[in-house]
């Protein structure tokens, strides 16, 4: 028996979006494939990032994310691999109560200037549920095999053999 293409995928969650004047004519964030977890979002401005440079790139969109959710802003892997373009605070978080313009902070970790044109896909957006923590202060934590072993305490690549 063949599985449905949407098997295991939750029903879509409605996110209200307002197109700002400088976002007119641009595509809304969209999934590139049926199996994509992130939606590609495009730039609403042209900018050139010098090596080491950062810029909050306008998208021309403002969102009303439903309570209990966030949108995570993640780098596009192709831009990261080929040009060193990334999101320095990845994943960036857009909170449900923010109503300003969605801007994507990009950094050029490459060695050449990188030009972004209006309409270029610049990042991915992932809608994710938020789980809120409630702190319980205690005198002692449970013991584990790792204990207080910190960075690198579980071994490096040499433990993988090869």
Q: Could you tell me which residues come within 8 angstroms of residue 127 by beta carbon, excluding any fewer than 6 positions away?
A: 13, 15, 65, 69, 70, 71
Rounded to whole angstroms, how far apart are CA atoms 124 and 86?
11
Per-residue pLDDT of the chain (162 residues; tens, 9 = 90+): 555 556 667 789 999 999 999 999 999 999 999 999 999 999 999 999 999 999 999 999 999 999 999 999 999 999 999 999 999 999 999 999 999 999 999 999 999 999 999 999 999 999 999 999 999 999 999 999 888 877 776 776 666 665
Whole-prediction pTM: 0.85
Comparing CA positions, the residue from 130, 125, 127, 131 lying closest to residue 11 is 127
Any idea which fold 16-131 has?
Deoxyuridine 5'-Triphosphate Nucleotidohydrolase; Chain A (2.70.40)
Q: Are 121 and 42 in contact (CB under 8 A)?
A: yes
Domain boundaries, the chain: 16-131
Q: Which two tokens stand for residue 57?
A: 């790139």
* Predicted local distance difference test score (pLDDT) of residue 8: 67
Task: Count the Cβ atoms, other than its own, within 10 Å of residue 82.
Answer: 11
The pLDDT of residue 10 is 79
**For residue 75, with 0-12 CB atoms within 10 Å meaning exposed, 13-18 middle and 19 or more buried, which class applies?**
buried
Per the CB < 8 A criterion, the answer to whether 36 and 125 are in contact is: no
d(CA 91, CA 102): 14
Alpha carbon distance 58, 43 (integer Å): 6
């Amino acid at each position: 028996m063949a599985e449905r293409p949407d098997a295991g995928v939750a029903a879509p969650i409605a996110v209200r979006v307002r197109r700002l004047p400088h976002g007119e004519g641009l595509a809304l964030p969209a999934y590139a494939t049926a199996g994509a977890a992130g939606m590609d979002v495009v730039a609403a401005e042209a900018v050139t990032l010098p090596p080491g440079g950062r810029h909050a790139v306008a998208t021309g969109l403002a969102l009303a994310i439903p309570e209990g959710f966030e949108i995570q802003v993640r780098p596009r892997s192709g831009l990261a691999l080929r040009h060193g373009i990334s999101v320095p605070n990845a994943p960036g978080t857009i909170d449900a109560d923010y109503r300003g313009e969605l801007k994507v902070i990009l950094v050029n970790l490459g060695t050449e200037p990188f030009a972004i044109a209006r309409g270029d896909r610049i990042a991915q957006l992932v809608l994710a549920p938020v789980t809120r923590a409630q702190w319980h202060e205690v005198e002692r934590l449970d013991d584990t095999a790792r204990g207080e072993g910190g960075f690198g305490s579980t071994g490096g690549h040499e433990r993988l053999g090869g």
